Amino acid sequence: MYGPPVDLSFKYISSLSDAWTEEPSSTLRPLKRNSAMKYLSRSLRLSNNNITDLYDLQKTVSHFLAEPSQLAWLDLSFNKITHIDHVLCELRELRVLYLHGNSIFILSEVDRLGVLPHLHTITLHGNAIESNKAYRNRVISALPGLKTMDFSAVTQQERVMAKIWHHSNNQSRISKETLQ
């Protein structure tokens, strides 16, 4: 049985290595530890900090969690993250990823997350990429296993529209390459 999230929100963390000296916030359900003093949890909250990059994410997950490879829920919302780092793609058991309220500005970086086999929930609203008119179609197309995006269910109609968008987008790209 896994316990509540390890909560490192609102700790004024700028780099992930800063988190290593922090104590998680206490919750209604107490956090349990193993004999190595690692937390028995599959969830990590790092929201509402000043994190700009995910360079030490694997070390941070390993520092706090008894089973780091089992991380299923990661909250990085309301930080200063500008890119969807490849390190997120190494979290093979990740199911829920909160990235809302950051500064991500390259929509195509979402495609990287397509390698996560269990990812079913993502938040990206409140980032610069949200202003792109293809935003929702692009994300749903890149992450076909999504059930929820930005706290809203992904409908069957949206999946169909995302497929159509993806197909027409690839066709126009191929046409442009042929003309060059």
Note the pLDDT of residue 26.
87
Note the pLDDT of residue 177.
52
pLDDT digits (tens, 9 = 90+) for 44-60: 999 999 999 999 999 99
pLDDT digits (tens, 9 = 90+) for 168-178: 887 655 555 55
SS3 124: coil
Note the pLDDT of residue 130.
96
- In the chain the domains, ranked by start, together with CATH numbers, are 6-179 (3.80.10.10)
Note the pLDDT of residue 131.
96
From CA 19, how far away is CA 98, in angstroms rounded? 18
Q: Which residues of the chain have pLDDT under 70?
A: 1, 171-180
pTM strictly above 0.85: yes
Residue 97 burial (10 A CB sphere; 0-12, 13-18, 19+): buried
- The CB density around residue 91, as the number of other CB atoms within 10 Å, is 23
